[in-house]
């Protein structure tokens, strides 16, 4: 009996700890690792990040989502994507540019949401202009012109209810909504936050505190 009590005395705390860890991971936050260049300069390859599951989705939020069934190339890690540690390569990290009901367009080197030029000070001028072009159709674009090449939502005018338009910060290499369309809310894992000791103060602010 004493042996059983002794065993239970250390087994039960371990089980409780594992249960708490699983609940935290499932409902509060999880840890991830950036893989690839598509969010440079603000998130770099192999950088560790936190993904908060209950955070509000806003303009400028950096999010992790499961691209399976959204990007036809999601199962092929082609170097553009970024994934969670231990994932199958279908978890991407991008920035929310437009919310449900928004219009989006790229005109004269700037991104417009609902016909208003947005603040993109989190990336440099070159990335804002030439990097934001749609390489399959260089020049200005809007949702309708982009969606002609998408597998779904062809002819879209606005972002549909419950979906989001996302782009990587390193626009010239990012595989994002310009190429395959919107991200449904139920595919979004959570909002990215960086650690206080990682990179520079400005880069952390560009990820943690954006809301234009």
Active site residues: 38, 94
Query: In angstroms, rounded to a whole number, what is the distance separating the alpha carbons of residues 183 and 118?
Result: 20
Residues 126, 182, 107, 73, Cα dihedral to 10°: 50
CB within 8 Å of 16: residues ≥ 6 apart: none
Nearest to 48 by CA among 65, 31, 60, 36: 31
Query: In angstroms, rounded to a whole number, what is the distance separating the alpha carbons of residues 83 and 93?
Result: 7
Place of tokens 């279908």: 90
Query: In angstroms, rounded to a whole number, what is the distance separating the alpha carbons of residues 174 and 123?
Result: 13
Q: What DSSP line would sit under 196-210, residue for residue?
A: TTSS-HHHHHHHHS-
Query: In angstroms, rounded to a whole number, what is the distance separating the alpha carbons of residues 100 and 13?
Result: 45
Count of helix runs (H) and strand runs (E) in the chain: 5, 11
């Amino acid at each position: 009996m004493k042996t059983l009590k002794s065993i239970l005395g250390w087994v039960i705390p371990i089980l409780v700890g594992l249960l708490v860890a699983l609940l935290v991971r499932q409902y509060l936050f999880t840890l991830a690792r950036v893989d690839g260049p598509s969010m440079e300069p603000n998130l770099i390859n192999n950088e560790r990040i936190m993904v908060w599951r209950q955070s509000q989705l806003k303009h400028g939020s950096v999010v992790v989502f499961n691209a399976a069934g959204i990007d036809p190339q999601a199962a092929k890690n082609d170097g553009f994507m970024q994934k969670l540690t231990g994932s199958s390569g279908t978890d991407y990290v991008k920035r929310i540019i437009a919310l449900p009901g928004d219009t989006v367009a790229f005109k004269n080197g700037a991104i417009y949401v609902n016909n208003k030029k947005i603040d993109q000070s989190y990336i440099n001028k070159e990335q804002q202009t030439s990097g934001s072009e749609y390489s399959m159709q260089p020049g200005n674009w809007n949702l309708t012109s982009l969606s002609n090449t998408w597998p779904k939502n062809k002819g879209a005018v606005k972002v549909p209810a419950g979906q989001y338009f996302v782009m990587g910060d390193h626009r010239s290499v990012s595989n994002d909504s310009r190429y395959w369309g919107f991200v449904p809310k139920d595919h979004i894992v959570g909002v990215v936050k960086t650690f206080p000791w990682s990179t520079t103060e400005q880069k952390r602010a560009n990820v943690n505190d954006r809301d234009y």
